[in-house]
Chains A and B, each alone.
Chain A
Amino acid sequence: MLRKLRSLFRVLRSRDDFEQGMAEELRFHIDQYTADLVRSGVSPQEAARRARIEFGGLNSTQEECREARGLQLFDHLRRQLRHAGRTLGKSPRFTATALLTLAVCLGANLTIFAVVDSILLRPLPFPEPDRLVTVFNSYPKAGVHRDGSSTTNYYERRGQIPAFAELAIYNEGTALTGETGAIESVPFMRVSAEFFSTLGANLALGRSFTEAEMALPPAHVVILSDSYWRRHFNADPLVLGRQVRVAGVANTVVGVLAPDFRFLSSEARLYFPYATRLEERAPRERHNGGNAKHIIARLRPGATVAQAQDQIDAQNTALAGDDPQAKLLADAGFRSVVVPLRADHVASIRPTLLWMQAGALALLLIGALNLANLLLVRANGRIKELAVRQALGASRWHVASEVVVETTLLTLTGGLLGLATGAAGIRLLDALGAERLPLGAAITLDARLALVALSGSIILGIALALPIAWFNLSAHPAGAIQSETRGGTPGRASQGLRHGFIVAQIALALVLLTGAGLLGLSLKQAMAVSPGFRPDHVLTGQVLLPRDQYPTWTARLALNQRLLEQLSRQPGVLAVGAVNNVPLSGNNGKSAATVKGYVRPPGESLRGHYSYGVDGDYFRAMGFRLIEGRFLSGEDSQRGQRVCVVDEDFARFYWPHASALGQRLFAGAEETKDADAITVVGVVGAVKQAGLTDDAGQGAVYYPYALRTDERLFVVLRSSLPPESAATALQATVRQTGGDATLTNVRTMETRISDSLLTRRAPALLAALFSAIALLLTAIGTYGILSYAVAQRRREIGVRMALGAKPQQIRGQFLALGLRLLAAGTLLGVAGTWVLGQAMRSLLFEVPPFHAATLAATVCVVSLVSLAACLVPAHQAAGISPTVALADES
């Protein structure tokens, strides 16, 4: 086989040489034979004649020789390609329509598939990524579904769970690096010693962290990402032992990661050891995850997630034995969940992406149906030519292969154009924010995808050829020649097929449009949700503090005070405050609060509440609603008053029949001594904490900043000027007041809200785009089929008009045909939308899956577009003049 391919390849490479050589070789033979005959006494003319006769047909010999070298298939293909190219070139309008349709439909699919591929399909860049899992604590009955893991969990589990080969813990943050004047904020990760080996990632230089480096005092060592190494150390191979200044402290470089290292969506460029005090590993810290620390593990070869889950469950049960909080935890439904790492990371957008791909495929199907119809119409127009050729001996195989070659040439060209469209589409997705999706930064159009796209085009070409080939072969040649020349009515079967395609197209367009409508409506509903505060004119930014300059909590609070005072003096500033986490930041953890005197009914769990530390005039700056009492002030924070503000959900839950004011509570899961109690001084409106569409009503507690030990700091500023213009002032104030403190993540509250809707907005926009294209395709399809029907029946119409039929009757007849198709398509489509609505329920927000108004609107739009597409051909039909139509021989 290989030999033959090699030989074939040699010949194909120099085809002309082959032909020339063959001719020369055969001529040489005949000449030699002639000469021999002459030598044996035959006259030259007679010799030449006999030589040629005895040799036999030169042409057939040559053909057999080509066949012997396996060339005939290629010759055949080449001829058919040339023929297909010529016929396509002869009908530029058809070809352009077809190519445009293909470019758009295939491009749309390629774009979405690129996203699906990079987020859902491509394996994580680690060896045997299927063995990687993550473990998180869940307290569902307390309203806390996901709380990460604790340091205690890590120390209790490593080496103790037989199903895990290795287990590691990490958390993330932002560090300030460099010297005063050139401070840069760099995302970092703190990782335990076996983090990289758990992933199976090798370091390009140096080593991973050691067990000793996970103890305090800090070892001040750092591992660099490849990009940090290149940018800051100019890819110095002798970087080990050099220093990186982080928060004013020198850290020694002990390793550099490989260039392709990428952990999920993390942008970390520096890695520090996960160093903790012994107290942080104690059993009483077991449930202090706070959704900030995360455990990953690698399953032992052959071990399953279910086994790991069983072992973790067994360990949790054993540990609960001597846990004083065991009852509390059981009430909260505590469980540690083991899930595959990648699936867990992308779980939130998986359904959306799959629906987007389904939408793109529906669009492709509409486009393909359109093309099939246009091709059928063309085939009908060429049936006479084909019949003649078949009568002259073209084989059925030849007829079928010709169709396949033509449609495949078309779809393959369309596929190439689709690659270009797809590349543009990916850029569009980037503009819509696709790189902010989990694993979204890896979305690229690579050779693998291009190959998939081109293979898809070829398959599409073959699929499109099937109905055409069937039509060509089922037509009776003799009948075809007759019926077409006499201009009778077209074949029933092919007409049925065309009309069926139109019906399917209308139905699909309807379903697609309804889907887009439901998504759009959900987006509109989500955007209409009040966040609970007034997001206009609010600018927010995160302040990072270098630990060396602000080593104590007092120093930090002093800075807060200076910063807020400076900011409040800026022009246009109405109110300014600080908080450790803004709403909708995407990482809002919950923690427990215990209300004094509240007795939980049996079976009710302790509840997790959103907890915040606020300073300055935070509530006024953010635009909270005051329901009762007063807001917290900067003074509460500075004086460390034991007061707090709760939101209405919290107040309603604990004191449904009494005022919350003056009530007392404890931060944490248990009631402690009276001196620790915190008094409620105000009740504010509930705020959407985790997302606009989050309706949990979990309750929130706002403590003075000084009472909390969360180190994060956001400043919130309400300005009478456009908030963007306040950004420069904010930046400058932080720089003047804060030493090396650095401002990052500066965004208006409105931007934060709109960003939080990314996974609703982009799909709704894409679905709208897809439906617009689908409508256009359906209009083209309907128009094409009806005007073809008119053209085909010219003679019939002519005869009927000559016999007295009125133009209105003719017009009515074609409109009726259009309406029949539309009605059938609509019926089918409405059934489809019902199924669709049920299936995509999880993507909808406050929109019923079967939304009558949306459906009615879509039916109207589809009907209008289809009818408009019918009107023109129907009008043309009515305008046919009998004399012209009857005289016309075509």
Chain B
Amino acid sequence: MGKSADLLPGTLDMLILKAVSLKPLHGYGVLLRIQQISGDALEIPQGSLYPALYRLEHQELIAAEWGVSDNNRRAKYYTLTSAGRQRLQQETEGWNRLASAIALALNTTSEEV
């Protein structure tokens, strides 16, 4: 499975929103998509995916609808709501700010102090 990183707390919701923003997905699809777009670097504990999905649906950040999967089975598809899109944007910006700040801090050399 190569080198996979543990998720930082609170980032699963953001990843789910991102995954669903690209295309409506069922739960298993979300799992695969996150692995795919993170270059297999992130490992999602499968059991914690669904409570997270339900929580996001409860907050109406994503909406669920029953559809048919590729192999012709009934599956629940999640799509991003407009509130979800807003939240994703906020979280992305927040994350980028945080990441660049931390990167800046970590790249500091002794001359720059």
Q: Is the CB of A65 within 8 A of B54?
A: yes
Q: Does A69 contact B (CB under 8 A)?
A: yes
The answer to whether A68 and B51 touch across the interface, beta carbons within 8 angstroms, is yes
Q: When each residue 50-78 of chain B gets 1 if its CB lies under 8 Å from chain A and 0 otherwise, what string results?
A: 11101101111000001001010111100
| Interface: B47 (CB within 8 A) | yes
User: In the complex the two chains form, what is the Cα distance from A6 to B71 in whole Å?
Assistant: 33
Q: Is the CB of A25 within 8 A of B75?
A: yes
Chain B residue numbers with a CB within 8 Å of A28 are: 26-28, 69, 73-76
Is the Cβ of A56 less than 8 Å from the Cβ of B58?
Answer: no
**A730-751 CB contacts (< 8 Å) to partner B:** none
* CB atoms of A29 and B27 under 8 A apart: yes
State A61–B45 Cα separation when bound (angstroms). Answer: 11
- The smallest beta-carbon distance between B25 and chain A, in angstroms, is 12
Query: Taking the complex as formed, is B46 at the interface, i.e. its CB lies under 8 A from any CB of chain A?
Result: yes
Assess A65 versus B50: contact at CB under 8 Å? Given A3-B60, A28-B75, A56-B45: yes
* Nearest neighbor of A27 in chain B, beta-carbon distance: B73
Q: Give the distance to chain A from B64, nearest Cβ to Cβ, in Å.
A: 9
A 42-63 contacts with B by CB, 8 A: 54-57, 60-61
- Asked if A7 meets B28 with Cβ closer than 8 Å, knowing A54-B46, A61-B50, the reply is no
Measured in the bound complex, the distance between the Cα atoms of B55 and A22 in whole Å is 13
Question: How far apart are A80's CB and chain B's nearest CB, in angstroms?
Answer: 23
Partner of B50 from A4, A24, A26 at Cβ < 8 Å: A26
A68 contact set on B, CB distance < 8 A: 51-52, 54-55, 58
Residues of chain A with a CB closer than 8 A to B55's CB: 68-69
Q: List 17 A-B contacts (CB under 8 A).
A: A4-B58, A7-B59, A7-B60, A21-B66, A24-B76, A25-B26, A25-B76, A28-B26, A28-B27, A28-B28, A28-B74, A28-B75, A29-B27, A29-B50, A32-B69, A57-B47, A65-B54
A260 within 8 Å of B by Cβ? no
The reply on A196 being an interface residue by CB < 8 A is no
Contacts across chains A and B counted by CB atoms under 8 Å: 69
B66: chain A residues within 8 A (beta carbon): 21
Taking a contact as CB atoms under 8 Å apart, the answer to whether B28 and A33 are in contact is: yes
CB-based contact B75/A60 at 8 Å: no
A-binding residues in B (CB < 8 A): 26-28, 31, 45-48, 50-52, 54-55, 57-60, 66, 69, 71, 73-76, 83
B89 CB to closest chain A CB (Å) equals 18
- Say whether, besides A54-B46, A61-B47, A64-B51, A29 and B57 are in contact (CB < 8 Å): no
Closest residue to A53 on the B side, CB-wise?
A: B46
A61–B47 CA distance with the chains assembled, in angstroms? 6
**Interface residues contributed by chain A, number (CB under 8 Å):** 28
The answer on a CB contact under 8 Å between A4 and B28 is no
Determine the chain A residues whose CB is within 8 A of the CB of B47 once the complex forms.
Answer: 55-57, 60-61
Q: How far is the CB of A1 from chain B (nearest CB, A)?
A: 11
Chain B residues lying within 8 Å of A35, measured Cβ to Cβ, are: 71
Q: State A26–B60 Cα separation when bound (angstroms).
A: 20
Q: A832: CB under 8 A from chain B? A: no
Q: What are the 3 closest A-B residue pairs judged by CB atoms, nearest first?
A: A56-B47, A68-B54, A64-B51
CB pair A65 B51 closer than 8 Å: yes
Interface centre among A25, A64, A67 (most CB of B within 10 A): A25
List the B side residues contacting A29 at CB < 8 Å: 27-28, 31, 46, 50
Contact across chains for A7 and B58 when beta carbons are under 8 A apart: yes
A68 and B62 CA atoms in complex are apart in Å by 14
Determine if A70 is an interface residue (Cβ-Cβ < 8 Å): yes
A296 to B55, CA, bound (A): 63
Give bound CA distance, A3 to B82, whole Å. Answer: 13
- Check if B54 sits within 8 Å of A21, measured CB to CB: no
Query: Are B58 and A70 closer than 8 Å at their CB atoms?
Result: yes
Per the bound structure, the CA–CA distance linking A61 and B48 in Å amounts to 7
Distance between A290 CB and nearest chain B CB, rounded to angstroms? 72
The distance in angstroms between the C-alpha atoms of A8 and B57, with both chains bound, is: 11
Q: B27, B59, B69, B75: which contacts A3 (Cβ < 8 A)?
A: B59
Docked complex Cα distance between A60 and B47 (Å) = 9
CA distance A68 to B58 in the complex (A): 7
Chain A: CB-nearest residue to B27: A29
Inter-chain contacts of A32 with B (CB < 8 A): 28, 69
Question: Chain B residues with Cβ under 8 A from A25's Cβ?
Answer: 26-27, 50, 75-76
Closest B residue to A29 by beta carbon equals: B28
Contacts of B45 in A (CB 8 A): 56
Which residues of A have CB within 8 Å of B76?
Answer: 21, 24-25, 28
- Do A4 and B26 have beta carbons less than 8 Å apart? no
| Interfacial chain A residues near B71, Cβ < 8 Å | 35
Q: Are B46 and A67 in contact (CB under 8 A)?
A: no
Give the Cβ gap from B59 to chain A, nearest Cβ, in Å. Answer: 6
Complex Cα gap A431–B110 (Å) = 97
List, in ascending order, chain B residues with CB within 8 A of A6's CB.
60
Instruction: Give CA–CA (A31, B55) in the complex, Å.
Output: 23
Within 8 Å CB of B58, what residues of A? 4, 7-8, 68-70
Looking at the assembled complex, report how far the CB atom of A50 sits from the nearest CB atom of chain B, in whole angstroms. 11
Given A56-B45, A61-B50, A24 and B60 contact (CB-CB distance below 8 Å): no
CA A21 to CA B50, docked complex, whole Å:
12
Q: Give every chain A residue within 8 A of B48 (Cβ-Cβ).
A: 64
Please, what's the 1-or-0 string for A562-597, where 1 marks a CB less than 8 Å from any CB in chain B?
000000000000000000000000000000000000
Proximity bits, A62-94, B CB within 8 Å = 1, else 0: 001101111000000000000000000000000
The distance from the CB of B13 to the nearest CB of chain A, in whole angstroms, is 11
Q: A68-B51, A68-B58, A70-B58 given as contacts; is B74 within 8 A of A24 (CB)? A: yes
CA distance A215 to B91 in the complex (A): 81
> Which of B27, B54, B69 has the most C-beta atoms of chain A within 10 angstroms of its own C-beta?
B54
A28 to B64, CA, bound (A): 15
Quick one: closest A residue to B31, CB to CB?
Answer: A29
Minimal Cβ-Cβ distance residue in B for A62: B50
CB contacts (< 8 Å) of B46 on chain A: these are 29, 33, 54-56
Contacts of B57 in A (CB 8 A): 7, 69
Q: Smallest distance from the beta carbon of A307 to chain B beta carbons, Å? A: 56
| Distance in angstroms between the alpha carbons of A708 and B54 in the assembled complex | 90
Give the distance to chain A from B31, nearest Cβ to Cβ, in Å. 8
Residues of B within 8 A of A21 (CB): 66, 76
CB distance from B38 to the nearest CB of A (A): 18
Task: Give Cα distance in the complex from A26 to B66, angstroms.
Answer: 14
Other 14 A-B pairs with CB < 8 A, given A4-B58, A32-B28 = A3-B59, A3-B60, A7-B59, A24-B74, A28-B26, A28-B69, A29-B31, A29-B46, A32-B69, A65-B50, A68-B54, A69-B54, A69-B57, A69-B58
Chain B residues with CB below 8 A from A22, complex form: 50
* B93 → chain A closest CB, angstroms: 22
State A64–B52 Cα separation when bound (angstroms).
9
Residues of A within 8 A of B52 (CB): 68
Nearest neighbor of A65 in chain B, beta-carbon distance: B54
Within 152-210 of A, Cβ neighbours of B (below 8 Å) are at none
B111 to chain A, nearest CB (A): 49
Question: Taking the nearest CB of chain A, how far is it from the CB of B67, in angstroms?
Answer: 11
With a CB–CB cut-off of 8 A, which chain B residues contact A60? 47
A56 to B111, CA, bound (A): 50
The chain B residue with its CB closest to the CB of A54 is B46
Nearest CB of chain A from residue B60's CB, rounded to whole Å: 5
A47 and B45 alpha carbons, distance in the complex (Å): 17
Give Cα A61–Cα B74 distance, bound, in whole angstroms.
21
Q: How far is the CB of A206 from chain B (nearest CB, A)?
A: 55
Bound complex: CA A872 to CA B99 (Å): 82
Q: Which residue of A lies closest to B75 (CB)?
A: A28
Enumerate chain B residues within 8 angstroms of A4, measured Cβ to Cβ: 58-59
A31 vs B59: C-alpha distance in the bound complex, in angstroms? 28
- List chain B residues, Cβ under 8 A from A55: 46-47
A446 CB, nearest partner CB in chain B, Å: 38
CA distance A57 to B47 in the complex (A): 7
Q: Tell me which of B31, B46, B57, B76 has the highest count of chain A C-beta atoms within 10 A of its own C-beta.
A: B46
| Residue from B45, B58, B76 having most chain A Cβ neighbours under 10 A | B58
Q: From A57, which residue of chain B is reached at the shortest CB distance?
A: B47
Nearest-CB residue, chain A, relative to B47: A56
